[in-house]
């Protein structure tokens, strides 16, 4: 009869274990490894074998432990349950299983290196009973110190524990005390079982039961901590990655960025407050801008303080971290010599624990981030520090990006200011404008429409008027803003340096050649092409320094660093657009102006002789194959490029004495 009842009880236990096992995520190998001894399922293929007699009682107790313990520990592996309550239930199970007269649960406070009695229904701070973790005190303090189990038959006669079990009550004689230690060596709690003088002392079977159960609980705590750490790490990585994408995609105020970062850091680490320090690179000493939370209830927005903090001489934890570049974890603020209470005396804020970490770039410290007071714990743990390290990497990235953005913003504003100054200095003299306006037309030379004509020294003063004549002839007077065109021509003249060859005289000659080409082929080119080609000829060597592209590359000139190819030609185009953007010389829409800008760039870049030889070869192939099509956009580009180069080199085709003077100017 008893055998039948025992069989049914075992079957019920196995069924309960199976049901609990079904709720466990089987993909978690660590979880399965930890709980395997307690939820083992008997398979048909398993061979039955006879147990050794000395283990029968031990196995009986393990198999008959209450299912609530298995259920709670299984839940603990997957959820963040009340661990203290679970440990109390475990202690009660061990009390019942070992037939102890009583049980006491002690929790370990690693920050203060103390243990305290945990009351099942009362967790108040004011009435905690604490003992220092050391020898020569109570049994539980000794076990927490050694991190080893202890079984004493007669506690009254043991001189190692002058304070006994630490409390008065039943006549305690036999004590079985076991620590709950995680696999990485951290003592989390101590369970103390005792029997009175009228009971037999604890035996080895009782000890085995306690060791197995507490060992399993310690492993479960460790696994849960690892799981939660990985979960928080993943959440932190996902959040910061999304945050990084957000701030790289658009420009965001630094206050908003820091608010979001600190807010999530507080949530992830379970901190009460957060502070962000940004080191000022331009300051001679170690100064920083400080961002702190508002004083309003529930306000989490970070506000920038009006006064910078001098961290070089500051006695705060942030100052220490900024100077040393090392992370500081203050576990007990008031017992740590590094912590000063000056600020708290003014604000009334009570600091218990601090985690402060530098934000480091490749070669210097960008800032410091600090969180204060662990909410769901006594202090910040090693896993919190590891999370904070990941957090600081993203902070460094965000700060680096912010600094780059600020530098770019300042540089843009400086460039805008310099551009305004440049345009002011480029404006022609008011007397020249007035003189040009009063005398905008001159007598055109008799052979001006021939390629062989070249401006004489006597005609140099009339070159601006002749340029206006050429533009008016090819474009049409109705298409021109005359006043703006006059200012444009004089500005272009001013931007040519007094070089022997690359000067305004050369630009005028190139414009004259292009003028003749366009006048003889008006039907060939579109109106927008004519407008751009005549202006490109005039502007193609603006602000030429008298050096070649090869020389600029060999000397690593600023322009060579700015442009990869066609260095001078790109620069000439940029100067031309600087002048044009301030003057509307043609009557055209914005869309037409954009087309004009592109045509102008293609035309000026075509004056690079390195490009000319490529264009010439392609055009020669089209002509030899009788495939040239003027309506083909690519073919038209080649034709316009050849027109620009021909005009640029047309001085060599002038009468001998003119060509001789030009060649002597070049060399």
Residues designated catalytic: 502
Torsion region of 476: left, alpha or beta (phi above 0 gives left; psi -120 to 50 gives alpha) = left
In 3D space, the residue among 267, 272, 261, 263 whose CA is nearest the CA of residue 349 turns out to be 272
**556 assigned ligand-binding residue:** no
* CA–CA gap between residue 621 and residue 618 (Å, rounded): 5
Which residue(s) pair with 414 in the sheet? Answer: none
In 3D space, the residue among 80, 73, 373, 109 whose CA is nearest the CA of residue 225 turns out to be 80
In 3D space, the residue among 237, 322, 251, 260 whose CA is nearest the CA of residue 287 turns out to be 322
CA contacts within 13 A on the Cβ side of 524: 14
Give the sign of the dihedral formed by CA 603, CA 605, CA 609, CA 610. negative
**506 assigned ligand-binding residue:** yes
* CA–CA gap between residue 532 and residue 595 (Å, rounded): 9
* CA–CA gap between residue 568 and residue 547 (Å, rounded): 9
**412 assigned ligand-binding residue:** no
**462 assigned ligand-binding residue:** no
Task: Report whether 265 contacts 274 (CB < 8 A).
Answer: yes
Find all residues with CB under 8 Å of 362, minimum gap 6, and list them: none
Task: Report whether 398 contacts 257 (CB < 8 A).
Answer: yes
**Residue 317: both structure tokens together:** 């934890």
* CA–CA gap between residue 567 and residue 608 (Å, rounded): 9
Q: What is the dihedral of CA 476, 481, 484, 485, to 10 degrees?
A: 0
Find all residues with CB under 8 Å of 635, minimum gap 6, and list them: 622, 628, 629
* CA–CA gap between residue 10 and residue 12 (Å, rounded): 5
CA dist 476 → 472, 493, 625 (Å) = 5, 22, 37
**Residue 481: both structure tokens together:** 């803003």
DSSP per-residue codes, 102-115: EEEEEEEETTTTEE
Task: Report whether 103 contacts 120 (CB < 8 A).
Answer: no
* CA–CA gap between residue 593 and residue 599 (Å, rounded): 10
* CA–CA gap between residue 592 and residue 552 (Å, rounded): 34
CA 68 to chain centre: 46
In 3D space, the residue among 219, 289, 299 whose CA is nearest the CA of residue 259 turns out to be 299
Task: Report whether 392 contacts 262 (CB < 8 A).
Answer: no
CA 1 to chain centre: 72
**Residue 366: both structure tokens together:** 């960008």
* CA–CA gap between residue 651 and residue 453 (Å, rounded): 10
Find all residues with CB under 8 Å of 396, minimum gap 6, and list them: 359, 360, 361, 366
**Residue 566: both structure tokens together:** 């066609």
Task: Report whether 603 contacts 571 (CB < 8 A).
Answer: no
> 406 by DSSP, 3-state: which?
helix
**Residue 456: both structure tokens together:** 């004489």
Which residue(s) pair with 122 in the sheet? Answer: 119
Phi (first) and psi of residue 562, to 5 degrees: -85, -35
Instruction: Name the residue with tokens 């000056």.
Output: 342
Phi (first) and psi of residue 72, to 5 degrees: -65, -40
Known binding-site residues for Zn(2+) equal 506, 540-541, 648
Known binding-site residues equal 506, 540-541, 648
């Amino acid at each position: 009869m008893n055998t039948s009842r025992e069989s049914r009880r075992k079957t019920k236990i196995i069924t309960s274990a199976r049901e609990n096992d079904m709720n466990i995520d089987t993909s978690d190998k660590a979880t399965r490894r930890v709980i395997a001894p307690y939820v083992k399922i008997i398979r048909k293929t398993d061979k039955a074998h006879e147990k050794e007699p000395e283990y029968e009682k031990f196995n009986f107790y393990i198999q008959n432990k209450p299912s609530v313990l298995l259920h709670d520990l299984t839940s603990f592996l997957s959820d963040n349950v009340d661990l203290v309550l679970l440990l109390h239930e475990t202690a009660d199970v061990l009390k019942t299983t070992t037939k102890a007269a009583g049980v006491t649960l002690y929790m370990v406070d690693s920050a203060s290196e103390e243990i305290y009695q945990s009351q099942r229904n009362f967790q108040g701070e004011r009435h905690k009973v604490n003992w220092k973790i050391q020898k020569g005190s109570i049994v539980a303090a000794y076990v927490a110190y050694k991190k080893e189990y202890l079984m004493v038959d007669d506690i009254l006669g043991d001189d190692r524990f002058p304070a006994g079990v630490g409390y008065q009550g039943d006549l305690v004689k036999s004590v079985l005390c076991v620590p709950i230690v995680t696999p990485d060596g951290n003592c989390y709690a101590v369970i103390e079982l005792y029997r009175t003088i009228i009971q037999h002392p604890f035996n080895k079977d009782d000890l085995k039961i306690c060791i197995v159960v507490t060992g399993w609980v310690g492993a479960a705590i460790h696994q849960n901590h690892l799981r939660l750490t990985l979960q928080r790490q993943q959440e932190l990585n996902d959040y910061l990655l999304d945050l990084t994408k957000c701030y790289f995609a658009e420009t965001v105020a630094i206050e908003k960025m820091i608010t979001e970062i600190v807010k999530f850091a507080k949530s992830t680490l379970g901190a009460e407050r957060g502070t962000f320090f940004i080191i000022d690179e331009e300051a001679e000493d170690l100064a920083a801008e400080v961002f702190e939370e508002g004083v309003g209830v529930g306000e989490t927005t970070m506000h920038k303080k009006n006064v910078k903090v001098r961290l070089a001489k500051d006695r705060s934890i942030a100052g220490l971290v900024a100077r040393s570049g090392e992370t500081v974890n203050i576990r007990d603020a008031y017992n740590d010599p590094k912590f000063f209470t000056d600020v708290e005396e003014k604000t009334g804020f009570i600091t218990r624990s601090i985690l402060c970490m530098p934000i480091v770039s490749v070669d210097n410290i960008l800032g410091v981030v600090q969180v204060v007071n662990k909410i769901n714990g006594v202090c910040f743990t090693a896993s919190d520090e590891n999370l904070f390290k990941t957090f600081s990497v993203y902070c460094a990235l965000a700060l680096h990006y912010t600094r780059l953005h600020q530098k770019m913003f300042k540089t843009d504003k400086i460039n805008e200011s310099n551009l305004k100054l440049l345009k002011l200095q480029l404006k022609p003299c008011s007397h020249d404008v007035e003189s040009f306006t009063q005398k905008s037309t001159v007598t055109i030379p008799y052979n001006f429409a021939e390629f062989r004509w070249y401006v004489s020294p006597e005609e140099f003063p009339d070159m601006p008027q002749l340029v206006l004549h050429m533009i008016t002839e090819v474009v049409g007077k109705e298409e021109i803003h005359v006043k703006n065109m006059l200012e444009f021509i004089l500005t272009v003249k001013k931007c040519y340096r007094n070089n022997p060859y690359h000067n305004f005289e050369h630009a005028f000659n190139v414009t004259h050649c292009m003028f003749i080409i366009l006048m003889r082929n008006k039907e060939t080119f579109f109106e927008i092409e004519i407008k751009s080609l005549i202006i490109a000829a005039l502007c193609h060597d603006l602000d030429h320094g008298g050096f070649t592209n090869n020389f600029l590359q060999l000397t690593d000139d600023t322009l060579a660093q700015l442009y990869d190819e066609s260095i001078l030609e790109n620069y000439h185009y940029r100067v031309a657009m600087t002048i044009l953007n301030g003057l509307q010389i043609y009557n055209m829409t914005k869309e037409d102006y954009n087309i004009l800008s592109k045509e102008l760039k293609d035309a000026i870049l075509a004056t690079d002789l390195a490009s000319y030889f490529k264009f010439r070869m392609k055009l020669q192939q089209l002509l030899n194959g009788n495939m040239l099509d003027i309506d083909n956009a690519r073919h038209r580009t080649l034709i316009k490029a050849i027109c620009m180069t021909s005009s640029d080199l047309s001085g060599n085709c002038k009468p001998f004495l003119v060509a001789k003077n030009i060649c002597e100017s070049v060399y």
